[in-house]
Amino acid sequence: MFWAGGDPAQTIAELTSLGIRSGQLGIPGDLPLSCAPQWRDALRAANFRIHTVFAAYKGESYADVPTVQRTVGFIPPATRAEREQRTLGVSDFAAVIGAPGIATHIGFVPESQSDPDYIAVRDMVRRVCDHAASHNQTFALETGQEPARVLMAFLNDVARPNLGINFDPANMILYGTGDPIEALGILAPKVITVHCKDGDWPPAGVAGALGKEKALGAGSVGIPRFLAKLREVGYRGPLSIEREASDPARRMVDIRSAIALIADLKA
Ligand code: MG
């Protein structure tokens, strides 16, 4: 999982130097979407495949739980219309580069199906699904911010065949949402793609605190049991490593060791 923003050819060269041949491309909220043809050409030249294009939005912050609730995804009413247009634009970007799917964090979905925010977001997800379907794309919701049963009820209520999940086991831990392996058992039929990411639970007794993201294998997910569970539920899609460490050198070291860990476990 990597981000657009830098020179496309150089970004892809960094990934192929690690032996990676495919991945998920994140689009920062302020990136002009007119750079799609440059990405298409660079991907083609390197024979590099994009499984998913991720949309992020201007003004989002993942500082703590209340900030996520206030700023992330489709939930904040003030930015809803603007973010809907942006998501449709990201779907068009994905069509230009030939990616089969888009994804985003929609934010904290309210549990009550009669909540006006729930209804507005459900209808918005339907419109995004329908636009994505016009490009033959799937639309995946990133997991983590709500328990598996709430997310499953939401997916069933949206009722669009191209809607699914990008399952991130670490997010379930970082947000204190529930055991990710158990959640994967429930959500498996809807999982389109996954993030191989690790992390530790939030500190006890600190209201609204998030857990801490860790290098793959160093957190509380239990990567061997995660991969075993993916196999058990019949998942055969890509394993996308996500590492959010802010220091780029650290990030590359951790991605290298994550690749080695996954190769070991697969063997
Ligand atoms: Mg993720």
Q: How far is the CA of 238 from the centre of ligand 1 (A)?
A: 14
| Whole-number pLDDT of residue 144 | 82
In this structure, the number of other CB atoms found within 10 A of the CB of residue 58 comes to: 12
Residue span of the structural domain in which 32 resides: 2-266
Q: How far is the CA of 171 from the centre of ligand 1 (A)?
A: 7
Place of tokens 């951790």: 254
Which residues sit opposite 58 in a β-bridge? Answer: none
| Whole-number pLDDT of residue 200 | 97
Q: How far is the CA of 197 from the centre of ligand 1 (A)?
A: 7
Q: How far is the CA of 129 from the centre of ligand 1 (A)?
A: 20
Place of tokens 């690690």: 18
Q: Which residues of the chain have pLDDT under 70?
A: none
Q: Find the angle CA(213)-CA(218)-CA(223) to the nearest 5 degrees.
A: 95
| Whole-number pLDDT of residue 207 | 85
| Whole-number pLDDT of residue 146 | 85
Nearest to 8 by CA among 32, 43, 34: 43
Question: CA-to-CA distance for 238 and 262, rounded, in angstroms?
Answer: 12
Q: How far is the CA of 125 from the centre of ligand 1 (A)?
A: 19
Q: How far is the CA of 61 from the centre of ligand 1 (A)?
A: 14
CATH of the domain at 262: 3.20.20.150
Domain count, the chain: 1
Q: How far is the CA of 201 from the centre of ligand 1 (A)?
A: 15
| Whole-number pLDDT of residue 122 | 97
Q: How far is the CA of 54 from the centre of ligand 1 (A)?
A: 10
